[in-house]
Structure 1
Amino acid sequence: MNKQFNTRSMIFTLFGDYIRHYDNVIWIGSLIRLLQEFGHNEQSVRAAISRMNKQGWVESNKIGNKSYYSLTDRGKARMDEASKRIYKTEHPSWDGNWRILVYTIPENKRHLRDELRKELVWSGFGLLSNSCWITPNPLEEQVNRLIDKYDIHEYISFFQASYIGTNDQEELVQKCWNLDEINEKYQLFIQEYSQKYVIDKNKMEKGELSDGSCFVKSALLVHQYRKFLFIDPNLPQELLPNMWLGDSAASLFTDYYKMLNEPAKRFFEQVYNQGEVEKVMEEINK
């Protein structure tokens, strides 16, 4: 299979969807074998996991001559947050208030501004005006984590407020997020994956899909759907347009994922167990 996505991003997908549910640790040999299914070679896997280690997403343990990797607390927190949003069954409830984050990060720390912007977009904040970000969701925990992570307590002001402007809430939302563009991306996802779902469902009923194929299809499905975490602010129902396609996309994703899940897990476990992880966990926890 040709390589379709960058190695680091695929490792995140595997940690989020599989590894964190299996003692949160994997032998590098098993990880290399799994990534081969997507066209990634050993060198690219080792380079990517090394970068993730330096960035604080994973940590390594060496038992004998084998290296094992697990998510750090920071990595677990990110995966937990992502999982809640990917596998959500309903929209977040809204208390009618907005959370407002304002920063005054100096020019000599511009790199922190750039990093913070990326994190805020990922968490679902929208840019209201220069250095002023808003969200209707209670993201206090995520904000505190960001402030601690980048050590920017002195540069951040964080408020909770109600909107009493002359325009309605819909115009406020339109100013901060391009929901029409997001809706178009959901439409493209539905068009592509509804066809794939029908084809693969027919193949599964005929017994024509191997466990390995299901694993690849499932991981790529999650990987593709995970991209919406970077653009969809996960707004409450009250703030969404009437013809919102996010719910239809979520239903399609859930049905497709459930169909592939069991055979995909079988394949993952077959490769994963070659790393003798249970013995390793005993050594780590001694």
Structure 2
Amino acid sequence: MASPFTIEEIYPDDGDDAPRLPRRQAGSSPQDLAVTLLADYTLRHRARIPSAALVALLAESGVSTAGARAAISRLARRGVLEGSREGRRSSYRISRAAAANLSGGGRWILAATTDVAAWDGCWTIVAFSLPQDRSTQRRALRGQLRWLGYAPLYDGLWISPYELSAQGRAQLARFTLGAVTVFRGPQAALDVIGQRAPIDAWDIEAIGRHYEEFLRRWTPLVPSLRSGGVDGAAAVRARTEVMDTFRRFPTLDPRLPLDLLPAGWLRQPARELFEAVYDGLAEPAARHVRSVVARFADGAQPDIQAHTTADLLAGVRDAEPAPERDGASATVESCAT
């Protein structure tokens, strides 16, 4: 299931020195896969993995040797990975900045698809006007708004059901330089034909199809993983793919209020299925990653561990917090106050 969003929108840059995570392509790029693999098994201790082992793991997902080595090199140049060399052996680990970002991002993915917040009936509106010759700035602003959970109701007017946080305001200020206005309030009903509801800024039918496709793809696997029938490279491939797909839902569906959505909205069933697959494959996948790494490293690799969804919610490691995402822990007050 391809997503229209880039990984920068899921784990955005934080200033000039932040790691630049890879752009989303149709399907999973080698860089996507490498980041997911390293985050899923080395994030807790920032364990180092020999480059040859990472190439071998990526090969199990169909990435060529040349493609894997190019992806590793690009991630190192972007500051996502840190390299080291001992003799002729090179190894890589997630950089401290990328680890902090990924840890916070993992926590947000689970919180954003688990927490249920009441809605006060108000909308936050962000209106901006940028000249045509500032197209790069306009694209960056739109990406940031999408990341914060906003969608375009009209060109230059984006909305969200949740308050814009102080950190979100600061992030927008970096992109607009005064060319933006933010306000919040309820929708005023008009007795006209064709009035557009704010929820129409999101393609609800398309989001629903993404959920349905996710359920169709992963539900048949549950009996096999519960019986221990998924092991080795298959377990790693499945766990990587399910994370790579599920982590896009909080951006597609930024905790839209359930009372505005069709009955039987599939956000929670998708969340429960993700937990069953991701947690159910944790141990067999980690065993396989350790076995592959052991072929290229000296001795056991106890720092290679798989975390669960509970670990993600608790925070996989003591890292600096990732950027705040609006609506992740909204409190309900009257929008008139």
Where on the TM-score scale, by shorter chain, does this alignment land: which range?
0.7 to 0.9
The CA distance in 2 between the partners of 1:115 and 1:78, in whole Å, is: 21
TM-score of the aligned structures, taking structure 2 as reference length: 0.66
Cα gap change, 1:39/1:235 in structure 2, threshold over 3 Å: closer, same or farther? same
The residue number in structure 2 matching 1:282 is: none
Of the structure 1 ranges 253-262 and 220-229, higher mean CA displacement relative to structure 2 is found in 220-229
Q: 1:24 & 1:101 partners in 2: Cα distance?
A: 42
Contact kept in structure 1, 2:31 and 2:71, CA below 8 Å: yes
- Where in structure 2 are the equivalents of 1:178-189 lying within 5 Å? 178-189=203-214
Q: Choose from 97, 100, 108 the match for 1:76.
A: 100
Q: 1:125 aligns with which of 132, 150, 155?
A: 150
2:254 corresponding residue in structure 1: 233
Q: Secondary structure at the match of 2:283?
A: helix
Equivalences for 1:183-202 in 2 at 5 Å?
A: 183-202=208-227
- Name the SS of the counterpart of 2:217 in structure 1: helix
1:199 Cα shift? Answer: 4.0
CA distance in 2, matches of 1:77, 1:221: 20
Q: Is this contact kept in 1: 2:125–2:159, CA < 8 A?
A: yes
Give the C-alpha shift of residue 177 in structure 1. 0.6
CA distance in 1, matches of 2:170, 2:38: 21
Structure 2, gaps ≥5 residues long: 1-26, 191-195, 304-337
**AA matched with 2:157:** C
Q: Which residue of 1 aligns with 2:326?
A: none
The equivalent position to 1:8 in structure 2, one of 28, 31, 38, is 31
RMSD: 3.4
Partner of 1:114: 139
Quick one: structure 1 residues 50 and 136, their matched pair in 2 at CA, closer, same or farther if it must change by over 3 Å? Answer: farther
Equivalences for residues 44-59 of structure 1 within 5 A? 44-56=67-79, 58-59=80-81
> Does the Cα contact within 8 Å between 1:122 and 1:231 map onto a contact in 2?
no
Q: How many Å separate the matches in 2 of 1:78 and 1:95?
A: 31
Say if 1:157 and 1:55 are closer, same or farther in 2 by CA, change over 3 A: farther
Listed as ranges, the matches of 1:198-277 within 5 Å are 198-202=223-227, 204=228, 208-272=229-293
Which protein, 1 or 2, shows the higher relative CO under an 8 Å CA cutoff with sep ≥ 6? 2
- Given candidates 65, 87, 96, the residue that maps to 1:42 is 65
Does the CA contact (< 8 Å) of 1:92 and 1:235 recur in 2? no
Deviation string, structure 1 residues 48-82 (Cα, Å, up to 9, x no partner):
233344445x1424344524242453663355235
Match of 1:175 in 2: 200
Q: By how many angstroms is 1:36 displaced?
A: 1.7
Inter-CA distance 175–131: structure 2 relative to 1 (3 Å threshold) = same
SS in 1 for 2:177: helix
Alignment partner of 2:51 out of 28, 46, 71: 28
Counterpart position of 2:162: 137
Mean Cα deviation higher: 8-17 or 67-76 = 67-76
Match of 1:18 among 18, 23, 41: 41
**Counterpart code for 2:72:** I
CA positional deviation for 1:176: 1.0
| 1:104 and 2:129 aligned | yes
Q: Using a 3 Å threshold, how does the CA distance of structure 1 residues 20 and 6 change in structure 2: closer, same or farther? A: same
Unmatched runs of 5 consecutive residues or more in structure 1: 280-286
**Percent sequence identity over aligned pairs:** 24
Q: CA contact under 8 A between 1:105 and 1:155: conserved in structure 2?
A: no
Deviation readout 1:223-273 (Å, 9 max, x if unpaired): 222343442222233443322112111111211222211211222334456
Deviates more, 1:179-188 or 1:82-91: 82-91
Size of the aligned set, in residue pairs, is: 268
Whether contact under 8 Å (1:99, 1:161) holds in the other structure is: yes
In the other structure, the counterpart of 2:315 is: none
CA offset at residue 84 of structure 1? 2.0
Distance, in Å, in 2 between the alignment partners of 1:77 and 1:51 is 18
Please tell me the residue identity of whatever aligns with 1:62.
S
Q: TM-score, normalised by structure 1?
A: 0.76
Distance 1:50 1:241 in 2: 45
Deviations 1:139-184 (A, max 9, x none): 5366357447xx42514535351214116xxx63432111122112
CA–CA distance in structure 2, aligned partners of residues 237 and 54 of structure 1? 42
CA distance in 1 between counterparts of 2:210 and 2:181 reads 31
